[in-house]
């Protein structure tokens, strides 16, 4: 069956417009596959996808919306978006359903934007993916079932495993991959590699094999200001299919300095500048406004929805996504069901029209299927098929386009046919009217109308607030309410239809008052009758006061006097001769109605006036403090009292010390806080006053406030060695010494600190610590003494300087002038000899030996940061000339200066491992809270698991280690790590 002509023309026009536009990455490439070691599109062309990764979805949800995904596709030009989902750290385990729903949204948004989506499983913590294996299997089963057949979905099953080897990761992958393949057999699956995805070479000896080991890629990660292992990656490009699912322009912490030069080197490698020419796809960390240097957006951009408010890193990365342009080859032919949308629900009996679109190909016909059951075909575009009167059930529709190059099949679209949802009833209260008033004893007729468009009304219930009054099951729906006391009431009606759906009416407020009391709804409020000599107050209803400017009061019936209390209120003394009459008020207004007059008829009340009973005095008891309680000066004392009045109410409770008032409270519970109370004996009482002025004083409570006991005096301490501004040569051994005493006790210990980081401690005089292997830097040292009662004192700070050994002087006659050796982390300058500068037009610098960075400062001069891993090598420069010799290169061999070599990777001054090196054991002082620690050998194999630590905690370890070099790996937070190199010189 074909749809109407106008709709046909509209769809055809839309199709023609769309065909003139550049196809999206998803439309251009279709289903991805791995051919050899290369990611290719559906047509088999080698491609590189470039895009952005989210930050943790649980932290930056506001950054990930349909609008932001569309902006990434339209403005940033991304080919893919990575949904980074942490498992621990407040992530998936804390909100499983919520994060599954968020990822499902992102998959749909990316599909609509025409880009690929990586569903990520972040096992950064706990590191070993097998610790969360059952959750991973359940998660990826659900994801694969939900997104089966979607061409834009890529699964990343194991992001940044650490502390485990490849065989452990492989065991995990062998259990998760079959779960995905069961439902989504053609999807690309990314598998992490050891050491935070930095060692894909470990896979070579034991790669994934078997029936499910196809369309598998292995991931690596880098941060350009920290990582320089390009050669390791180049060495495996001709042996493994690689995918860089996360990289940053910053240090590995996500913050710190940016290194665009090394970043460009990595991008060149991934663009195909590697031994096999493999194009490696990537996603950059992160599309967020996280306030760290790697974040692509400036702080506050997400809340403001400013998706192009890019940071320094974001601007650079965005430019490298857009340039060079994608090279996907000819667009991939495809067929898709454009409506209904996947997971649509329709009513039973609907004539469901399935519309299909063929792109980048000409089809002779399109066939429509429910599962494997053929429904029909259409030979003309736009292609459609109608399922008439669809029965209840769930359907899996696909479209198959018949084209000359081979048939194309669409993704599955799931449609559920279900009964029409029940519509709720409507209900409204028709009686009483809002703000109606009734005098007691009242009988109030409550009535409501109720209807149901797709059924019938089962009952209507009537409520006062949350209290049910009654119900009616037949129209007209009414209830007669009697016996309520004076008060204000809120009425509602609740209608229930034949299927149990409930609707509640808008509320109606009514007032019930005693007939002897003034009617609060009257224009002029006051009593209807008075006794002779009575004094009564009359007031204008508040609804009549707007714009009132003056009031004129009068009365008839021989009243005695009228006294105006306030605008709109007057007190009338009716005197002995009142015989009945009216009380009236005339009101002038500053706007329409300009003037109004209100009168109230007043009769003489029958009988004799009631007598006023004798007022009963209140009762009061001081409940706190108790008798003979003691306190320490300066004291804060809370006084509380209980008070009641048999024939009225309590106006106030006052608190006294003797005859001196301390304070008062006018509401129950009666309390007062008495502060800064000095040493003395006090007699406390509470005095209650009722609403008619009667008073009662409580029994006296005596308390004692004493002077405080003498306090412990802190110790004194002075740092005696080294002296202020002392200098040392790295690696230095610095003897720390302090003098300490305590006037009222003894010194328990003296601790020595560099800044806030503890170096060591001594518990006996003379107080000394030897601080070994101190690297280059400026240090601020203090000593902290603790006495036998826990009081502490800190010495005056001493500043010292540790310098590197001076390298041998440079040979100024050499072709390339610079030092003969360099310390690790040294930053040194190298110059081309001036005799080689004439006619020079361009200088290209390079070096070997794992240097960190090269910064040209002027033609023929460069500054080189030798970094922590420098092992010796050559510094070289290539020079282009505008005349002969046209090109020359010069190299200089640079060795490591042995006198300034250092113990570890960690070059900061607050090294908190001591002694290091050691021949026995190491002590480590946690300068702040640590999530996890371990000790690994130089091959990365874990030797000791040390667990977590609190700030200030000391951990002693290493006595069982053999002589050798080790790495202390410290994990502070999800994104902050540190490694300290350890040297064991004997046992």
- Confidence check: pLDDT of 906 > 80: no
Query: For residue 428, what are its two tokens?
Result: 């409204």
Query: Across the strands, what pairs with 400?
Result: 367, 409
pLDDT tens-digit series, residues 626-676: 999 999 999 999 999 999 988 778 889 999 999 999 999 988 889 999 999
CA-CA distance, 865 to 595, in Å (whole number)? 91
Query: Across the strands, what pairs with 839?
Result: none
pLDDT at site 90: 86
- Confidence check: pLDDT of 899 > 80: no
Q: Given the DSSP bridges, would you call strands 595-604 and 561-566 parallel, antiparallel or unpaired?
A: unpaired
155 pLDDT band, cuts 50/70/90, is very high
Query: For residue 52, which of 253, 420, 397, 322 has the smallest C-alpha distance?
Result: 322
CA-CA distance, 520 to 589, in Å (whole number)? 22
pLDDT at site 898: 62
Q: Which of 42, 131, 156, 246 is catalytic?
A: 246
What does the DSSP assignment read for 460-486?
EEEEETTEEEEEESSSSEEEEEE-PPS
Query: For residue 582, what are its two tokens?
Result: 């009216």
Please indicate whether residue 53 or residue 946 has the higher confidence score (pLDDT).
Answer: 53
CA angle 77/79/83 to nearest 5° reads 110
Please indicate whether residue 16 or residue 403 has the higher confidence score (pLDDT).
Answer: 403
- Confidence check: pLDDT of 902 > 50: no
Q: What is the mean pLDDT of residues 367-394?
A: 94
Query: For residue 621, which of 694, 672, 677, 670 has the smallest C-alpha distance?
Result: 670
Q: What is the mean pLDDT of residues 1-20?
A: 36
What percent of the chain has pLDDT above 70? Answer: 94
- Confidence check: pLDDT of 59 > 50: yes
Q: What is the mean pLDDT of residues 605-616?
A: 73
pLDDT tens-digit series, residues 60-114: 999 999 999 999 999 999 999 999 999 988 899 999 999 999 999 999 999 999 9
CA-CA distance, 279 to 326, in Å (whole number)? 12
Domains and CATH numbers, the chain: 24-322 (3.20.20.80), 333-418 (2.60.40.10), 426-513 (2.60.40.10), 524-604 (2.60.40.10), 619-706 (2.60.40.10), 716-803 (2.60.40.10), 816-896 (2.60.40.10), 913-984 (2.60.40)
Query: Across the strands, what pairs with 631?
Result: 705
- Confidence check: pLDDT of 391 > 80: yes
Mean pLDDT score across all residues of the chain? 88
Q: Which of 89, 131, 156, 160 is catalytic?
A: 160
pLDDT at site 4: 36
How far does Cα 669 stand from its chain's mean position? 42
pLDDT at site 810: 55
804 pLDDT band, cuts 50/70/90, is low
Neighbours of 364 (CB within 10 A): 10
User: Does residue 246 have an active-site annotation?
Assistant: yes
pLDDT at site 565: 84
Poorest-confidence range of 125-129, 205-209, 425-429, 933-937?
A: 933-937
Cβ(389)–Cβ(351) below 8 Å: yes
pLDDT tens-digit series, residues 716-748: 999 999 988 888 887 788 999 999 999 888 999
900 pLDDT band, cuts 50/70/90, is very low
- Burial annotation 241-279 (CB, 10 A radius, 16+ → b, else e): bbbbbbbbbbbbbbbbebbbebbeebbebbbeebebebb
Enumerate the H helices of 58-95 as residue ranges.
66-71
CA-CA distance, 770 to 736, in Å (whole number)? 6
Largest interatomic CA distance in the chain? 134
Q: How many angstroms separate the Cα of 113 from the Cα of each of 22, 69, 108?
A: 13, 7, 9
> Residue 297 has what DSSP assignment?
B
pLDDT tens-digit series, residues 267-279: 999 999 999 999 9
- Confidence check: pLDDT of 322 > 80: yes
Query: For residue 440, which of 489, 510, 491, 512 has the smallest C-alpha distance?
Result: 512
- Confidence check: pLDDT of 12 > 60: no
pLDDT tens-digit series, residues 535-577: 888 999 988 999 999 999 999 888 889 999 889 999 899 989 9
User: Does residue 160 have an active-site annotation?
Assistant: yes
Q: What is the mean pLDDT of residues 420-445?
A: 89
What does the DSSP assignment read for 885-950?
T-EEEEEEEEEE-GGG--S-S--SS---EESSSBSS-EEEE-SS-EEEEEEEETTS-EEEEEEEE-
pLDDT at site 938: 64
Q: How many angstroms separate the Cα of 381 from the Cα of each of 385, 508, 637?
A: 12, 60, 88
- Confidence check: pLDDT of 53 > 60: yes
């Amino acid at each position: 069956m074909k749809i109407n002509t106008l709709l046909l023309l509209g769809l055809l026009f839309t199709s023609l417009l769309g065909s003139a536009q550049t196809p999206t990455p998803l439309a251009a490439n279709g289903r991805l596959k791995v051919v050899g070691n290369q990611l290719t599109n559906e047509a088999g062309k080698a491609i590189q996808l470039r895009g952005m990764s989210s930050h943790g979805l649980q932290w930056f949800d506001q950054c990930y919306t349909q609008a932001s995904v569309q902006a990434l596709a339209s403005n940033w030009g991304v080919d893919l978006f990575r949904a980074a989902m942490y498992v621990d750290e407040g992530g998936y385990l804390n909100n499983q359903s919520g994060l599954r729903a968020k990822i499902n949204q992102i998959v749909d948004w990316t599909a609509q934007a025409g880009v690929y989506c990586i569903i990520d499983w972040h096992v950064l913590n706990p590191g070993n993916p097998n610790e969360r294996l059952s959750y991973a299997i359940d998660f990826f089963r659900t994801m694969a079932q939900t997104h089966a057949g979607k061409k834009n979905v890529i699964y990343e099953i194991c992001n940044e495993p650490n502390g485990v080897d490849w065989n452990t990761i492989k065991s995990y992958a062998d259990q998760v991959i079959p779960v995905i393949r069961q439902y989504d057999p053609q999807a690309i699956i990314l598998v992490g590699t050891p050491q935070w995805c930095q060692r894909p070479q470990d896979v070579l000896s034991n790669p994934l094999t078997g029936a499910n080991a196809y369309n598998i890629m292995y991931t690596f990660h880098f941060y350009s200001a920290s990582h320089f292992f390009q050669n390791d990656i180049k060495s495996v490009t001709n042996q493994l299919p690689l995918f860089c699912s996360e990289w940053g322009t910053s240090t590995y912490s996500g913050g710190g300095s940016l290194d665009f030069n090394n970043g460009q080197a990595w991008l060149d490698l991934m663009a195909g500048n590697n031994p096999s020419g493999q194009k490696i796809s990537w996603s950059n960390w992160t599309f967020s406004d996280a306030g760290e240097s790697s974040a692509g957006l400036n702080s506050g951009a997400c809340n403001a929805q400013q998706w192009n408010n890019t940071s320094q890193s974001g601007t650079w990365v965005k430019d490298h996504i857009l340039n060079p342009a994608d090279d996907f080859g000819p667009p991939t032919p495809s067929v898709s069901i454009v409506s209904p949308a996947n997971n649509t629900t329709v009513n039973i009996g609907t004539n469901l029209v399935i519309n299909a679109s063929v792109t980048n190909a000409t089809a002779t016909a399109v066939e429509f299927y429910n599962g494997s059951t053929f429904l029909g075909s259409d030979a003309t575009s736009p292609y459609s098929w109608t399922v008439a009167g669809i029965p209840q059930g769930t359907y899996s529709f696909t479209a198959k386009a018949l084209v000359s190059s081979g048939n194309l099949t669409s993704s599955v679209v799931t449609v559920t046919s279900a009964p029409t949802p029940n519509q709720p009833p409507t209900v409204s209260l028709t009686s009483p009217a809002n703000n109606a008033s009734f005098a007691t004893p009242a009988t109030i007729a409550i009535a409501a109308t109720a209807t149901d468009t797709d059924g019938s009304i089962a009952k209507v219930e009537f409520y006062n607030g949350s209290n049910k009054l009654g119900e009616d099951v037949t129209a007209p729906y009414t209830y007669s309410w009697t016996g309520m006391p004076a008060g204000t009431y809120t009425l509602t009606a609740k209608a229930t239809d034949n299927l149990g759906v409930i609707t509640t009416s808008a509320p109606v407020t009514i007032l019930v008052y005693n007939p002897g009391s003034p009617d609060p709804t009257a224009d002029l409020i006051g009593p209807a009758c008075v006794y002779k000599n009575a004094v009564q107050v009359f007031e204008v209803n508040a609804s009549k006061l707007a714009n009132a400017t003056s009031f004129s009061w009068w009365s008839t019936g021989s009243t005695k006097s009228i006294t105006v209390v306030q605008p709109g209120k007057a007190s009338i003394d009716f005197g002995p001769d009142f015989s009945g009459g009216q009380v009236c008020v005339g009101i002038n207004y500053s706007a329409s109605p300009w003037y109004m007059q209100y009168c109230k008829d007043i009769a003489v009340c029958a009988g004799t006036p009631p007598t006023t009973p004798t007022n009963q005095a209140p009762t009061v008891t001081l409940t706190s403090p108790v008798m003979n309680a003691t306190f320490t000066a300066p004291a804060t004392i809370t006084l509380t009292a209980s008070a009641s009045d048999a024939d009225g109410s309590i106006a106030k409770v006052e608190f006294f010390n003797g005859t001196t008032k301390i304070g008062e409270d006018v509401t129950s519970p009666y309390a007062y806080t008495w502060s800064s109370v000095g040493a003395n004996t006090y007699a406390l009482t509470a005095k209650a006053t009722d609403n008619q002025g009667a008073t009662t004083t409580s029994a006296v409570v005596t308390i004692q406030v004493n002077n405080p006991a003498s306090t412990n005096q802190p110790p004194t301490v002075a740092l005696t060695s080294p002296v202020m501004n002392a200098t040392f040569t790295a690696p230095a051994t610095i003897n720390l010494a302090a003098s300490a005493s305590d006037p009222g006790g003894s010194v328990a210990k003296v601790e020595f600190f560099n800044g806030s980081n503890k170096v060591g401690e001594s518990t006996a005089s003379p107080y000394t610590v030897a601080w070994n292997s101190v690297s280059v830097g400026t240090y601020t040292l203090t000593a902290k003494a603790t006495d036998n009662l826990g009081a502490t004192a800190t010495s005056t700070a001493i500043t010292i300087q540790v310098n590197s050994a001076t390298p041998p002087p440079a040979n100024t006659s050499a072709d390339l002038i610079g030092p003969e050796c360099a310390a690790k982390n040294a930053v040194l300058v190298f110059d081309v000899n001036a005799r080689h500068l004439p006619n020079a037009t361009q200088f290209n610098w390079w070096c070997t030996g794992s240097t960190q960075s090269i910064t040209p400062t002027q033609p023929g001069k460069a500054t080189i940061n030798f970094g922590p891993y420098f092992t010796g090598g050559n510094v070289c420069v290539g020079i282009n000339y505008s005349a002969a010799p046209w090109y020359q290169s010069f190299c200089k061999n640079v060795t490591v200066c042995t006198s300034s070599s250092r113990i570890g990777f960690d070059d900061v001054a607050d090294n908190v491992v001591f002694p290091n090196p050691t021949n026995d054991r190491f002590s480590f002082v946690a300068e702040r809270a640590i999530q996890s620690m371990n000790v690994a050998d130089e091959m990365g194999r874990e030797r000791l698991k040390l667990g977590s630590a609190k700030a200030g905690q000391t951990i002693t370890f290493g006595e069982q280690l053999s002589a050798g070099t080790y790495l202390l790996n410290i994990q502070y937070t999800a994104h902050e790590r540190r490694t300290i190199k350890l040297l064991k010189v004997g046992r």
